[in-house]
Amino acid sequence: MRLLHAATLAMTLITGSAQAATELDLFFPVPVQGKLANEMQRLIEQFDATHPDIHVTAVYTGSYDDTNLKTRAAIQAGRPPGAVIMSANFVREYAINGDAIPLDSIIANGAETKGQTPAQFMDRFWPALRINAMEQGHVYGVPFHNSTPLMYYSVDAFKDAGLDPEHPPATWQEWVDALRKLNRPGRWGVMFPGTYDYLGWIVSGLAMANGGEYYNPGYGGEVYYTAPSTVGAVTLIDKMIHTWKVMPEGVSDANAVTTAFFQGRTATMLLSTGSLSFVRDNMKTPYKVAFLPRQLVNAAPIGGASLIIPRGNSPERQAAAWTLVNWLTSPEIAGGWSRFTGYFAPRIAAYDMPEMKTYLAEHPDAKVALDQLAYARGWFATYNVVGVRKAMEDGVQAVLSGKATPEAAMAQAQKEAEALLRPYVEQTALKLPN
């Protein structure tokens, strides 16, 4: 009997072990306002219910920068998360440092993607998203939710200033002319966040609209902070504050900006498409959105996040993570997440679904974000990306506060950035064959 009982117990343990779900944790940030954390928890519960062989724990990790720090710490500690919703502009550095696995072989052997090349797999997604998902021809990130900066504007403020809300300013000259008319005692013409990450993103968009880039999209060791296009963009901001006085001095965060917009204390604001649902739910008077105004060309930086699988996971966890990644980026889930948040869905096929067609018809503000995709470019991505980005943002914040000229601020930012990039430059561009 004892032998039979022991055999039965052994079989039970073996069977139970074979049936045990693969445990994963998903690190996810909430970089914009709204109820995204609750919705992510709901999605993961839905995934778990339909995938009994995998159990996912959704772990809220703060901002994009916070998520980056916590992911690196977990990797270094030997306890990496199964997957991470990572700021898209961090993917290049994770690839450079070997902290994210290339997904090519998983794509080639996955059930839904079997036999596909990296390029074929990326054909699922909008073309502008590919530069921040791939490095040297290899896929390291799978686009999850994405954005571009938009100009939000109050219909009532436009009418009050004698402007046509159906024809928002499209060029910098039209924008400045409109802001001067919109500016009134108790109401600024424009506001936008001046905090880390958000500020760099918006300035990059203005530099692009001024005809340039402020980093090398093909190489992780170059930035162009002293280029005329970048200095010109920062000069525009400086004049908005200190010459035309259509924007408050100092650094405002996203909450201050949206609160001012809701209360009628700013007529326009530059903010992410990812805030569309939040604005829609909280703005009590009519508003519209428009492209980021251009100087020389229509342009906007891609924002948002991609899914990565960090190094250090077992093959079983990698396979489970890939199942989760494919589910989260499916047209159905990506479309639903887009409708809930305001981010545009990275999967092109999501917009073929009846629900998305109805949504765009009912919410033309979301259609503007999608239309701007035709002019979108990759998001700032370098080696040592946070430090390099903050060097520029520190300079612009000094300009916002009236403590530095655009030229001096960007010269200092370029110097600091080059020092931070130097190790990578010496390992790559300056390393010549024997």
Domain, as residue range, for 77: 2-146+303-372
Q: How far is CA 311 from the centre of its chain?
A: 22
Q: Is residue 91 situated within a structural domain?
A: yes
37 plus 122 within the same structural domain: yes
Query: Rounded distance, CA 32 to CA 34, Å?
Result: 7
- What pLDDT, on the 0 to 100 scale, is given for residue 12? 41
Q: Would you say 413 and 382 are in contact if contact means Cβ atoms under 8 Å apart? A: no
Query: Rounded distance, CA 216 to CA 427, Å?
Result: 17
Which phi and psi (to 5°) does residue 146 adopt?
A: -140, 165
Query: Rounded distance, CA 309 to CA 90, Å?
Result: 13
Alpha-helix residue ranges (DSSP H) falling in 347-405 = 354-362, 364-372, 385-400
11 plus 92 within the same structural domain: yes
Residue keyed to tokens 């791939």: 134
20 plus 137 within the same structural domain: yes
Q: Residue 208 maps to which CATH number?
A: 3.40.190.10
pLDDT tens, N- to C-terminus, the chain (434 residues): 433 344 443 434 334 444 689 999 999 998 655 578 889 999 999 999 999 999 999 999 999 999 999 999 999 999 999 999 999 999 999 999 999 999 999 999 988 888 999 999 999 999 999 999 999 999 999 999 999 999 999 999 999 999 999 999 999 999 999 999 999 999 999 999 999 999 999 999 999 999 999 899 989 999 999 999 999 999 999 999 999 999 999 999 999 999 999 999 999 999 999 899 899 999 999 999 999 999 999 999 999 999 999 999 999 999 999 999 999 999 999 999 999 988 999 999 999 999 999 999 999 999 998 999 999 999 999 999 999 999 999 999 999 999 999 999 999 999 999 999 999 999 998 887 77
285 plus 390 within the same structural domain: yes
292 plus 404 within the same structural domain: yes
**pTM (two decimals):** 0.90
Query: Rounded distance, CA 211 to CA 54, Å?
Result: 48
Q: Is residue 434 situated within a structural domain?
A: no
The pLDDT tens digits for 197-245 are 999 999 999 999 999 998 999 899 999 999 999 999 999 999 999 999 9
Q: Would you say 25 and 81 are in contact if contact means Cβ atoms under 8 Å apart? A: yes
- What pLDDT, on the 0 to 100 scale, is given for residue 2? 37
Question: Looking at 372, 389, 418, which one is the last position of a domain?
Answer: 372
- What pLDDT, on the 0 to 100 scale, is given for residue 342? 85
252 plus 106 within the same structural domain: no
Q: Is residue 395 situated within a structural domain?
A: yes
Parallel, antiparallel or unpaired: strands 266-272 and 188-191: parallel
314 plus 395 within the same structural domain: no
Question: Looking at 372, 404, 419, which one is the last position of a domain?
Answer: 372
104 plus 180 within the same structural domain: no
Q: Is residue 402 situated within a structural domain?
A: yes
155 plus 267 within the same structural domain: yes
49 plus 183 within the same structural domain: no
Question: Looking at 328, 348, 372, which one is the last position of a domain?
Answer: 372
- What pLDDT, on the 0 to 100 scale, is given for residue 6? 40
205 plus 331 within the same structural domain: no
277 plus 208 within the same structural domain: yes
Exposure b/e, 356-382, CB count within 10 A at least 16 = b? beebbeebebbebbbebbebbbbbbbb
- What pLDDT, on the 0 to 100 scale, is given for residue 33? 58
Please give the C-alpha separations between residue 401 and each of 194, 238, 252, 385, in angstroms, as whole numbers: 10, 9, 11, 24
Q: State which H helix or E strand residue 376 sits in.
A: strand 376-377
Q: How many structural domains are present in the chain?
A: 2
- What pLDDT, on the 0 to 100 scale, is given for residue 31? 66
Q: Is residue 215 situated within a structural domain?
A: yes
Q: Is residue 433 situated within a structural domain?
A: no
Q: Is residue 432 situated within a structural domain?
A: no
